[in-house]
Each structure stands twice: as C-alpha cells, then as structure tokens.
Amino acid sequence: MTLASCGVVLAGMVTLVSYSVTLYRLFCAATGYGGTTRRADSAPAKMTRSTVVVRFDTNVDKHLPWRFVPAQAQVTVHLGESTLVYFRAQNLSKAPLVGHAAFNVTPAKAGPYFVKIQCFCFDEERLEGGQTVDMPVDFYVDPQLASDASTNDVDIITLSYTFFPSASPAEGKDLSRLAQTTARTKPDPVNGATQFGQRCAACHSLSQNKVGPRLAGVVGRKAGSIPGYSYSRALDGAGLTWTETNLDRWLAGPRQFIPGVRMPIGVTDTVVRRDIISFLASHPTAGPAATSDASH
Ligand code: HEC
C-alpha cells in the first residue's frame, strides 16, 4: 500500500474516528499508519525507501560536568521531511561553563545527505551553573540518499554529538538563545485553527470533552487534569505541565513522548505543529460550555 492511498483511507477514517477509537486502532494496527505498529527495533519498509531511521547518540567529555541526552532515542522520518528533535543539556556544576559540540554522522557516506537547518553544532555553548536547556535540531534527510547507488542501502543513520570543555570559553554564547531562534519563525494561529479543524477536531473541541479532552487553556495546564475525562494511566501519571515546548514534542509523536497514552496520531510537520500550538495558546479559557461541563 502506498502512502498516498493510506492517506485517502485515513481521510475516510477521520469521520469515523470520533465514534470509535478502537476502530481507529485496528486500522492503525493493520496498516502501520502513524507508527502504531512500528517498533523501535524494526527497520522501515524497504520496498518504498521513503523513510529512514535516525538515531541519536550523545557523549560528554569527562572533564565537562554536564549531563547531555537526546529527548528521543530515534525518529523515523520521510526523506525530505523537516523534523525537529531535542537534546537536553544540564550543567551539573555551580559555575557557568562553556562547552564545544562536535558531531558526526554514521555511516559516513550518508553524511552529505544529512542536512541540518538549525542546530547548535560548531558553536561554543555556555550554560549557567545548574541550568538546563532543551536544544532543538531541525534537520532533514535529502531524498537523493535513495537515488545514490552508494547510499540507497542505508536505512539507519546515527547522529552523534560530543560536548568537550571549550578551549576558548570567552567566546561562549548563551545557549538559551536557541529557544529564541526557534520562536523567530512567526507562528500563524489562523492557519493553526484550520489545521486544528482538519487534524484534531474529530477527537477534540476547545470547550467540550469528546474522544479526547477539551483543549481550551491547555497551555499552562497540568496534563491529565480535566475533571470528568477518563485519561489513560500513562497520561494521568505523567506529572507534567503543558508548555509550548512539550506540546510540540507531544504533537510530534504522543506515544514516543509518553509511552502508553491513547492519542494515536501525531503531526510530522514542524510548522503545522507550531501553528496549532499558537492557536491553542490564543484560547486560554474554555468559555461557557466548559463551565457546564465541569459542573457534573
Ligand atoms: C483519534 C483521536 C485524536 C486525535 C485526532 C487527536 N487527539 Fe489529542 N488526544 C486524544 C486522546 C484519546 C487523548 C487522551 C490521551 C490519554 O489519556 O492517554 C488526547 C490527549 C491530548 C492532549 C492532552 C490533554 C490533557 O488534558 O492533558 C493534547 C494536548 C492533545 N490531545 C492535543 C491534540 C491536538 C492538538 C490534536 C490535533 C493535531 C490532537 N490532539 C488529535 C485523541 C486524539
């Protein structure tokens, strides 16, 4: 089954989905759509060569007291699809420290096709004592990976980062600038509303619980906290407060972010996620319908 025909079937599913999450799950289990049946250790379908698994590996030199981990062990991406992933760095010492990041891509022959749009590579990075920062890396894998005879057998690419203490700490830039760089592309809440209608409204409304919980005011709210909605234990116990950053990770892949949750699909496009989040952020209150919701 090609991806296009999958999409057509899915479009049909969206109307059904509000009636039956179980049906949706069966559909996903049968087709593998949305990563439902994809396991971390299984290679992508060879026949289309339209996806590749990108794994993340991190190291810290023993002279730099930082913790540095990928937010996700790996992602499966379509060739040419821009994907946003995060790495988290924490300065475990009390003093500000400047680290220098070096990266490499394996297999090396895939290196030229691994394209970073925005990242923290090459730079001297400064973290205040105790500070933790989520560092975004926006990348895509050039579709030519599949047409180059020397690389068309590559279905796993590993991106590996190592942080070393900087040799010239005076040049360190404040790592928190990265958050600002991500935000610079202006989000569009109007497109967010349209996208919400197409991608989320089958299961969610702003003011009422449907298949999923109501979403007005979700930014700044505790996950799993809407009274009268029966959450999965995974989301209920996540102990997390929704921010624009973790909503982005949630929407990129709910079950990759929090294993065991019941929301079956994600949004692969970085810009669409950003727009939907800005739409949700512009609806801080649920309105009158929610008040009556909450009363029973
Ligand atoms: C097929 C149905 C379905 C679709 C489509 C869907 N969701 Fe969900 N969503 C759910 C379910 C079910 C849950 C509850 C998950 C749980 O309890 O594990 C949920 C939970 C959530 C939560 C957590 C809310 C809370 O109170 O903690 C957010 C945020 C969310 N969805 C956003 C979205 C957005 C934005 C979209 C559109 C891009 C979307 N969802 C599309 C079914 C869906």
Q: 212 CA distance to ligand 1 centroid (A)?
A: 5
100 or 273, greater pLDDT: 273
Residue 175, helix vs strand vs coil: coil
234 or 127, greater pLDDT: 234
Q: Same domain, yes or no, for 28 and 59?
A: no
Q: Same domain, yes or no, for 31 and 57?
A: no
Question: Which pLDDT score is estimated for 143?
Answer: 86
In a domain, 198, yes or no: yes
Q: Same domain, yes or no, for 110 and 193?
A: no
Question: Which pLDDT score is estimated for 181?
Answer: 43
Residue 251, helix vs strand vs coil: helix
Q: 210 CA distance to ligand 1 centroid (A)?
A: 10
Report the residue among 256, 263, 273 best suited for mutation to probe ligand 1: largest number of ligand atoms under 8 A from its CB. Answer: 263
What's the rounded mean pLDDT across residues 173-200? 69
CB 58 within 8 A of CB 243: no
Query: Mean pLDDT of all residues in the chain?
Result: 75
Question: For residue range 145-178, what is the model confidence (pLDDT) as tens digits?
Answer: 888 888 889 999 998 888 888 766 665 555 555 4
In a domain, 295, yes or no: no
CB 50 within 8 A of CB 155: no
Q: Same domain, yes or no, for 71 and 167?
A: yes
Q: Identify the top-confidence range among 24-28, 29-33, 153-157, 286-290.
A: 153-157
- Distance between CA 196 and CA 207 in Å, rounded? 14
Q: Same domain, yes or no, for 119 and 149?
A: yes
C-alpha dist (Å) from residue 64 to 97, 130, 134, 166, 167: 8, 13, 18, 9, 12
Atom of ligand 1 nearest to the CA of 261: 18
Atom of ligand 1 nearest to the CA of 266: 38
Q: 211 CA distance to ligand 1 centroid (A)?
A: 8
In a domain, 61, yes or no: yes
pLDDT tier for residue 49 given thresholds of 50, 70 and 90: low
- Distance between CA 98 and CA 248 in Å, rounded? 28
Question: Which pLDDT score is estimated for 263?
Answer: 85
Pocket of ligand 1 (CB under 6 A): 17, 21, 24, 199-200, 202-204, 211-213, 215, 218, 223-224, 226, 231-232, 234-235, 247, 250-251, 261-265, 267, 276
Tokens for 85, please give them.
Answer: 């992933």
Question: For residue range 50-96, what is the model confidence (pLDDT) as tens digits?
Answer: 889 999 999 999 999 999 999 888 999 988 888 888 888 899 999 88
Domain of 122, CATH number, reads: 2.60.370.10
Q: Same domain, yes or no, for 31 and 56?
A: no
Edge-to-edge order in the sheet of strand 51-60? 74-78, 51-60, 156-165, 97-106, 124-127, 173-174
In a domain, 78, yes or no: yes
In a domain, 225, yes or no: yes
- Domain stops at, among 148, 166, 182: 182
Q: Based on the structure, what is the number of domains in the chain?
A: 3
Nearest residue (CA) to ligand 1, atom 40 = 200
Q: Same domain, yes or no, for 97 and 73?
A: yes
Domain of residue 13: give its range. 3-35
Q: Same domain, yes or no, for 175 and 194?
A: no
pLDDT tier for residue 268 given thresholds of 50, 70 and 90: confident
Q: Judge whether residue 32 has pLDDT over 60.
A: no
Question: For residue range 233-262, what is the model confidence (pLDDT) as tens digits?
Answer: 999 999 999 999 999 999 998 988 998 898
Residue 207 CB contacts under 8 Å (≥ 6 apart), including other chains = 214, 216, 286, 287, 288, 289, 290, 293
In a domain, 234, yes or no: yes
In a domain, 41, yes or no: no
Domain of 265, CATH number, reads: 1.10.760.10
Q: Judge whether residue 22 has pLDDT over 70.
A: no
Atom of ligand 1 nearest to the CA of 17: 1
